[in-house]
Amino acid sequence: MAEIRILKEVANPLLKRVEIVFEIPHSRGKTPTVAEAREAVSALKKTPIEAVYIRSLKGVSGRQSSIGEAHVYFSPEHAKIEPMHVRVANLPPEEKKRRKEELKKMRMEMKAKATGGKK
């Protein structure tokens, strides 16, 4: 992974995390995946990957770089406050697909229960 540059860093002691805005240059032409960005931020901040969550990652028009936002928690236990959709988005690709299928199945079962099996 290319080098990552911190643009803004704000401590949030109430939620026991650091909120950062970062830039990742990428010369190969495509925006890095959330999983790749998560690994890069984890390595830069010397934090376990389970304590890092990428909130957004977007390519910058006209430049070969991406801007992202991440939450870096003091420990993985504190990271449990992240919403489920963010936690799923930060999973490795094969695990993300499996987890999305589980959630979809669970939602369909809950919907069927709520409607009493009616369509």
- pLDDT, one tens digit per residue, over 20-49 is 999 998 876 678 889 889 999 999 999 999
Q: Which residue has the higher pLDDT, 3 or 57?
A: 57
Residues 63-82 have pLDDT tens digits of 888 999 999 999 999 999 99
Rounded mean pLDDT of 14-25? 95
What does the CA dihedral 102, 107, 109, 111 come to, rounded to 10 degrees?
Answer: -170
Which residue type, as a one-letter code, is found at position 24?
A: I
What percent of the chain lies above the pLDDT cut of 90?
Answer: 52
Radius of gyration of the chain (CA): 17
What does the mean pLDDT of the chain come to?
A: 89
More confident residue, 84 or 1: 84
Residue 54: which of 85, 29, 78, 30 has the closest Cα?
A: 85
Helix, coil or strand: residue 103: helix
Q: Is the pLDDT of residue 87 over 70?
A: yes
Q: What is the pTM of this model?
A: 0.81
- Token duo for residue 24: 């990742």
**Distance separating alpha carbons of residues 14 and 1, to the nearest angstrom:** 32
